[in-house]
Amino acid sequence: MVINSTIVDVLLNRATIVPHQKAYTFLADGEHESASCTYQKLDLQARAIAVELSAKVRPGDRALLVYPYTAGLEFIAAFMGCLYAGVVAVTDYPRQHIKSLSQYQDRIVDCQASIALTTHEFADRVKGQLMAHPTMAIKLKALPWIESDRVDLSLADSWQPPKIDGDTLAFLQYTSGSTGQPKGVMVTHGNVLHNSEVIYQSFGHHDQTKILMWLPMFHDMGLIGGVMQPLFAGLPAVLMSPIALAQNPFLWLQALSKYQITTSGGPNFAYDLLCHKITDEQRASLDLSHWSVAFTGAEPVRAETLAKFSQLYEPCGFKKEAFYPCYGMAEGTLFITGIDPRKYPTITYVDKQALTEDKVLAVAPEHPNSKAVVSCGHPWLGDEVIIVNPEAKIHCSSDQVGEIWAAGAGIGRGYYQREEQTEATFQATLANNPNKNYLRTGDLGFIKDGELYITGRIKDMMILWGRNHYPQHIEETVENCHPALRPNHGAAFSVDVGGEEQLVVAHEINRTDLRTLNAEEVIGAIRLAVGEQNMANVFAVVLLKTGSIPKTSSGKIQRRACQSMFLDGSLNAIAQWQQSEIPETDITDLAGQFFSD
């Protein structure tokens, strides 16, 4: 049995044992094969890029990787080239506009990058923008660039293996920035290998597994799940550009059917897209009978989405047991918990009013306050997850909501050059056990029958009239209250008004409803639904132009950015309503409801 201690070992062994086996196939337009590579070819490219890098920087230096979405295999070669040189890869997403290019400066300064890698075409585009605006992005302009697709492959012959092991820093994975400034998580070779083994076992992968990934490779789910997992397990992978999915979601399903894919997935919103954007005629052409692991994570998993998708795609051969909810984050490399494969996810129904008091009260599905919460499974291979009172730093009981803390070999080393935040987040200890460190995830949840359930995030929690409110619960209420509201494109957040927290709702309108929009009707529906279903008073409503709500590069709604833009009036509003004052009668009525129990 081959023992691998680094990611470099994995590729070297694949290139030696099965050199001509196809590693990756890329569909740049989501439909046609634009490129593919074998392990031997990838190893050759990585060696050559490593030699080019080593002539310009030292082991341990940081290299910024910026690749267009259509250059998937070039990204993989550059990423592996960094590891082959002992250089720390720093992934970032491709910005095109000059105002966005200046944002590279923050990343360059934060990670102290010494060099950048991209394609010849993208480098020309960036350099052209910088020449046209000579006073902008000075640090980006001064940074040396390697056009990795132009590197001379004959350099590979002079490659020397770097002095690295499992504890060596492999790359910086920046957090999404959904709740604050993005931070670079330090991920080691050992972190990646452990997390890859966890994914292999928890997903039930085997030698007949075929993987398809459309998530961007600069994102932890795309990089670890779509690039590292196939390499680690020696499994063929089909990769797509996320732009293709955004433009035509059917291409994802078409590729699943064509290549008889067994493992693929994405956040909950992606399954919603497939429920709303695919025609009966398109569904009739699909064979999804091979799809055995349909993972879903990165955002709250909705029971309604699982049920609707299963119903729509069962005639295509999709089995509802294929759904695989999981939980993870960049700080944990990727995967933290997942369910047992081949079983339909466990759904627990709890009283949503009790949740506002951090209590877990099981109810029947038909209960008027019933809230369906989907299990995200349990940790694997000796990893640990506990629920903790974030103030007292003690274990919560099984009927309490608390902060999710995690420990295990997949947890990153901390945030790059941020010692205080690293100590606070990665080195948390229980009040009665100061000798063991945990990762504070910032997420709220509970454990029932050994399974983890996610309820929200600490930083997003709102206190309205003395009750805790999860923004995603209010957002779910809002998007279902009127057909003109675009699913998965709204934010609920609070603002300070006279020393009191007040609720604001910002939500996009469907493009097809913009011309005929009855704003007063939609705003009224939002206020009524939130009042009745969430027992909260809406202070302001902003109806947004389609495609304008702030999101992270991985598609998460940025509630804090929405809040800031609301306060400075920069949201792209097509209609807005706001209370001039809070009527006394509303306060009395609401208080009576809130505190009647």
Please give the full DSSP string across 191-218, using - where no structure is assigned.
Answer: HHHHHHHHHHHHTT--TT--EEE-S-TT
Position 1 scores a pLDDT of 52
Residue 45 has pLDDT above 80, yes or no: yes
pLDDT band at 582 (very low <50, low <70, confident <90, very high): very low
pLDDT at 540 over 70: yes
pLDDT of 40 strictly over 90: yes
What is the arithmetic mean of pLDDT over 58-87? 96
Q: Which residues pair with 104 in a beta bridge?
A: none
User: What pLDDT, on a 0 to 100 scale, did the predictor assign at position 96?
Assistant: 63
State pTM to two decimals. Answer: 0.83
**What's the average model confidence in pLDDT over 444-469?**
84
| Selected residue with higher pLDDT from 594 and 155 | 155
Examine the pLDDT at 593 and tell me if it is beyond 90. no
The pLDDT tens digits for 138-164 are 667 788 999 999 999 999 999 999 999
What's residue 118's pLDDT?
A: 94
pLDDT score, position 586 = 39
With a CB cutoff of 8 Å and minimum separation 6, the contacts of 284 are: none
Average pLDDT of every residue of the chain: 90
pLDDT the model gives residue 137: 62
- Between 270 and 179, residue with greater pLDDT: 270
150: left (phi over 0), alpha (psi -120 to 50) or beta: alpha
What are the CA-CA distances from residue 64 to residues 75, 122, 162, 217, 431 (Å)? 11, 14, 19, 14, 40
pLDDT over 60 at 263, yes or no: yes
pLDDT value for 18 = 97
Q: Are 109 and 92 in contact (CB under 8 A)?
A: no
- Please state, in angstroms and rounded to a whole number, the distance separating the CA atoms of residues 343 and 320: 9
Q: Is the pLDDT of residue 179 over 60?
A: no
What's residue 35's pLDDT?
Answer: 95
Tens digit of pLDDT for each residue in 545-563?
Answer: 999 998 876 677 888 889 8
The DSSP line for 135-164 is TS-HHHHHS-EEEGGGS-GGGGGG------
Nearest to 448 by CA among 405, 482, 397: 397
Does the pLDDT of residue 585 top 90, yes or no? no
Q: Which CATH superfamily is domain 346-457 in?
A: Luciferase; Domain 3 (2.30.38.10)
Q: Can you say whether the dihedral through the CA atoms of 84, 85, 88, 93 is positive or negative?
A: negative
More confident residue, 543 or 591: 543
CA distance 403 to 415: 20
Superfamily classification of domain 7-247: ANL, N-terminal domain (3.40.50.12780)
Predicted confidence at residue 568, as pLDDT, reads 87
Query: Structural domain boundaries of the chain?
Result: 7-247, 346-457, 462-595
Express each pLDDT in 366-414 by its tens digit.
999 898 999 999 999 999 999 999 999 999 998 999 999 999 999 999 9
Residues 238-244 have a mean pLDDT of 91
Report the top-level CATH class of 462-595.
alpha beta
Range 561-590 average pLDDT: 73
Weakest-pLDDT range from 150-159, 160-169, 178-187, 302-311: 178-187
The residue with greater pLDDT, 219 or 419, is 419
Whether 135 has a pLDDT exceeding 70, the answer reads no
